């Protein structure tokens, strides 16, 4: 994060330079008033008035241009920071969600938007003007020290008010933001599980939970807004009172012949210029607070997930998988979910991993595709550890069908093509035909152009699983990892799955299939039995079946073994 500002230091420096000129040009009004009251009216010179007014018009036009440029520069600072970080934040969000199973990454994107927004808002320009407040206060001393000290005292009180506003609203704003996030989480979870909530009549319960968080967040937001409003109102009222006080003291000094009448108006305007940035910052303090918290959150988020250098590009691997001493605990200090797993898969082999629920099959599948980092041991593809491939390149060689198939906003064709920006129609159709979902897609009103969403209801559970299988086959992978691939399939779908496995092995590819259903291992050549995260048996399928089940003949009949097996 420290390097982010290196590319925008020049822009920020130019913005401060523009601030120098714009704030100096703000002296135009007070000086013009001073000259009008003290020179033009006294001399009754119209030529002087016209000349002065022409100069004022030119200076204010110059001020307008500089202020416009300054605002554009700061907006582009925010845009450049956003451009430098958006890909990094998005990749970190995916990595955190995929590898650590947390969904806090979306908050990082919101933090990044908050930072960009504040750079394009007037409040940051006002913040840059605050250092010039002492300059305007010092200018008031030129007219009379008493007016200067009055301005300094008033400005100090307003700054103290701003700091008090920060300290008194900081905790409330943080709490409101946290509770608001929890409220949004409930809303998203309710939307994702809408079918179940509706069927079970849980809608009112979840609505009450959501409303409870909403009301709590609203209460904390209102409390913070009340404090901010109180300080803002005090600041505005006190500034008007202070300007009136300057006029009164100035008039008293004029009566004592210690100051000219023009200095009264000029001093009042200077005071307004000096205090305006403070009041503007105070009025938009919540925006600065949100951006400050956003920057801090981004820093912590990106420090937690460091940027990974692109590994050396390796050639396309052979379908050889080697697992050695693989142990994995989901959290530090907990009992390993997998312990000392080891096996090899050669080209043309299909390995079925069977076991009861909770035996570690899904965790093993995630380890084989690089979604979890082993606590001990290693997983190698064609001799290279998985982290020697970039995730994008590894995904081209390993096809993965997770236990729960997600669809994304786009057409069926785009979902099969893994949301590629330039999908290959031939590969899309070929993958769909391999997964035997081609005919099902053609029966839909718009075929491959049928649009899906994250909460898709167009496809049934079995069809969605076949779609996920087609997506896993799209890149023609050398290794196919399937996690409970027939959990939602009927008999025809299960047979189609077995045909995919056979086709992969006949092409010399490798397949790993996690299941607890016997009809899913018909095409497997090897079996691994997982019990409590450990391998209890492994070897050729028929040998494992004979050792595990007494009546192997009945098993063969159920599985409809082919002669070649």
- Which CATH superfamily includes the segment(s) 321-559? P-loop containing nucleotide triphosphate hydrolases (3.40.50.300)
Rounded to 5 degrees, φ, ψ at 448 are -70, -15
| 353-397 pLDDT per residue, tens | 998 888 899 999 999 998 888 889 999 999 999 989 988 889 899
Long-range contact list for 455-464, CB < 8 A, 24+ apart?
Answer: 455/191, 455/192, 455/194, 456/407, 459/407, 460/488, 461/488, 462/488, 462/489, 462/490, 462/493, 463/437, 464/405, 464/407, 464/488
| 459-507 pLDDT per residue, tens | 888 889 999 999 999 999 999 999 988 887 878 888 888 899 999 999 9
Q: Is the pLDDT of residue 510 over 80?
A: yes
Q: Is the pLDDT of residue 314 over 80?
A: yes
Q: Is the pLDDT of residue 2 over 70?
A: no
Are 476 and 396 in contact, with CB atoms under 8 Å apart?
A: no
Are 359 and 529 in contact, with CB atoms under 8 Å apart?
A: no
**Rounded Cα distance, 79 and 199, in Å:** 46
3-class secondary structure, 315: coil
Q: Is the pLDDT of residue 553 over 80?
A: no
Residue 554 confidence (pLDDT):
52
**Rounded Cα distance, 41 and 32, in Å:** 12
24-33, 174-183, 457-466: range with lowest mean pLDDT: 174-183
| 524-542 pLDDT per residue, tens | 999 999 998 899 889 998 8
User: pTM to 2 decimals?
Assistant: 0.69
| 78-92 pLDDT per residue, tens | 888 888 888 888 888
In angstroms, how far is CA 31 from the centroid of its own chain? 50
Confidence band for 564, pLDDT divided at 50, 70 and 90: very low
Work out the average pLDDT over 298-308: 79
Q: Is the pLDDT of residue 557 over 60?
A: no
Q: What percent of the chain has pLDDT over 90?
A: 27
Q: Is the pLDDT of residue 298 over 60?
A: yes
Residue 415 confidence (pLDDT):
92
**Crossing angle of helices 203-255 and 285-304, rounded to 10°:** 130
Rounded to 5 degrees, φ, ψ at 370 are 85, 20
Work out the average pLDDT over 226-241: 81
| 448-457 pLDDT per residue, tens | 999 987 666 6
Beta-carbon-side half-sphere exposure of residue 38 (alpha carbons within 13 Å): 16
DSSP 436-498: T-HHHHHTSTTGGG-EE-TT--SS-HHHHHHHHHHHHHTT--SEEEEESTTTT--HHHHHHHH
In angstroms, how far is CA 9 from the centroid of its own chain? 25
Contacts of 97 (CB under 8 A, 6+ apart): 103, 105
CATH level 3 topology of 133-283:
ABC transporter transmembrane region fold (1.20.1560)
Work out the average pLDDT over 310-327: 90
Are 537 and 548 in contact, with CB atoms under 8 Å apart?
A: yes
- Mean per-residue pLDDT of the chain: 84
Residue 455 confidence (pLDDT):
60
| 238-288 pLDDT per residue, tens | 878 888 888 898 889 888 888 888 888 888 888 888 888 877 887 777 788
Residue 104 confidence (pLDDT):
58
**Rounded Cα distance, 239 and 159, in Å:** 12
Residue 434 confidence (pLDDT):
92
Q: Is the pLDDT of residue 168 over 80?
A: no
Q: Is the pLDDT of residue 67 over 50?
A: yes
Q: Is the pLDDT of residue 403 over 70?
A: yes
Q: Is the pLDDT of residue 437 over 90?
A: yes
Q: Which of 26-35, 159-168, 404-413 has the highest mean pLDDT?
A: 404-413
Rounded to 5 degrees, φ, ψ at 508 are 80, 15
Rounded to 5 degrees, φ, ψ at 499 are -65, -35
**Rounded Cα distance, 337 and 482, in Å:** 19
Residue 41 confidence (pLDDT):
82
Are 218 and 179 in contact, with CB atoms under 8 Å apart?
A: no
**Rounded Cα distance, 185 and 213, in Å:** 10
- How wide is the angle at C-alpha 24 spanned by C-alphas 19 and 30, nearest 5°? 135
Work out the average pLDDT over 415-423: 91
In the chain, what is the greatest distance between 2 CA atoms, to the nearest angstrom? 121
| Among the listed residues 204, 114, 119, 530, the one whose alpha carbon sits nearest the alpha carbon of residue 336 | 530
């Amino acid at each position: 994060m420290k390097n982010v500002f290196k590319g925008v230091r020049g822009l920020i420096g130019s913005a401060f330079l523009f601030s120098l000129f714009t704030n100096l040009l703000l002296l135009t009004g007070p000086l013009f008033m001073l000259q009008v009251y003290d020179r033009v009216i006294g001399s009754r010179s119209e030529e002087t008035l016209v000349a002065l007014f022409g100069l004022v018009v030119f200076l204010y036009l110059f001020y307008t241009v500089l202020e416009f440029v300054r605002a554009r520069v700061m907006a582009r600072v925010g845009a450049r920071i956003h451009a430098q970080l958006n890909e990094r934040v998005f990749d970190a969000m995916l990595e955190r969600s995929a590898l650590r199973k947390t969904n806090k990454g979306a908050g990082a994107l919101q933090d990044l938007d908050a930072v960009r927004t504040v750079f394009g808002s007037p409040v940051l320009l006002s913040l840059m003007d605050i250092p010039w407040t002492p300059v305007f206060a010092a200018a008031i001393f030129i007219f009379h020290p008493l007016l200067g000290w009055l301005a300094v005292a008033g400005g100090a009180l307003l700054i103290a008010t701003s700091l008090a506003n920060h300290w008194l609203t900081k905790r409330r704003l943080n709490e409101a933001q946290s509770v608001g996030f929890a409220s949004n989480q409930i809303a998203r979870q309710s939307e994702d599980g809408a079918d179940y909530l509706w069927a079970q009549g849980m809608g009112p319960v979840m609505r009450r939970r959501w409303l409870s968080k909403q009301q709590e967040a609203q209460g904390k937001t209102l409390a913070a807004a009340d404090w901010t409003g109180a300080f803002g109102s005090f600041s505005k009222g006190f500034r008007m009172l202070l300007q009136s006080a300057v006029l009164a003291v100035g008039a008293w000094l004029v009566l004592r012949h210690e100051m000219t009448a023009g200095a009264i108006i000029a001093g009042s305007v200077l005071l307004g210029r000096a205090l305006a940035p403070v009041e503007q910052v105070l009025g938009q303090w919540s925006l600065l607070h949100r951006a400050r918290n956003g920057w801090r959150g981004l820093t912590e988020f990106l420090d937690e997930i460091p940027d990974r250098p692109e590994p050396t590009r390796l050639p396309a691997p052979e379908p050889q998988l080697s697992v050695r001493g693989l142990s994995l605990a989901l959290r530090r200090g907990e009992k390993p979910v997998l312990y000392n797993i080891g096996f090899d898969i050669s080209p043309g082999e299909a390995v079925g991993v069977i076991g009861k629920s909770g035996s570690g099959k899904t965790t093993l599948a995630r380890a084989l595709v690089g979604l979890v980092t082993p606590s001990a041991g290693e997983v190698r593809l064609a001799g290279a550890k998985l982290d020697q491939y970039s995730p994008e390149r590894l995904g081209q060689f390993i096809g993965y069908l997770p236990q729960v198939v997600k669809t994304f906003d786009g057409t069926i064709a785009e979902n099969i093509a893994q949301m590629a920006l330039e999908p290959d129609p031939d590969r899309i159709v070929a993958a769909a035909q391999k997964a035997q979902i081609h005919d099902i897609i053609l029966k839909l009103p718009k075929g491959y152009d049928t649009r899906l969403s994250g909460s898709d209801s167009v496809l049934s559970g079995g069809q969605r699983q076949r779609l996920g299988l087609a997506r896993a086959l799209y890149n023609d992978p050398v290794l196919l990892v399937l996690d409970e691939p027939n959990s939602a399939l009927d008999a025809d779908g299960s047979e189609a799955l077995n045909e995919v496995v056979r086709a992969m092995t006949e092409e010399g590819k490798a397949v790993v299939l996690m299941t607890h259903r016997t009809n899913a291992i018909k095409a497997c050549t090897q079996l691994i039995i997982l019990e409590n995260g450990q391998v209890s048996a492994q070897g050729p399928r028929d040998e494992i079946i004979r050792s595990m089940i007494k009546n192997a003949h009945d098993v063969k009949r159920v599985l409809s073994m082919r002669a070649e097996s």
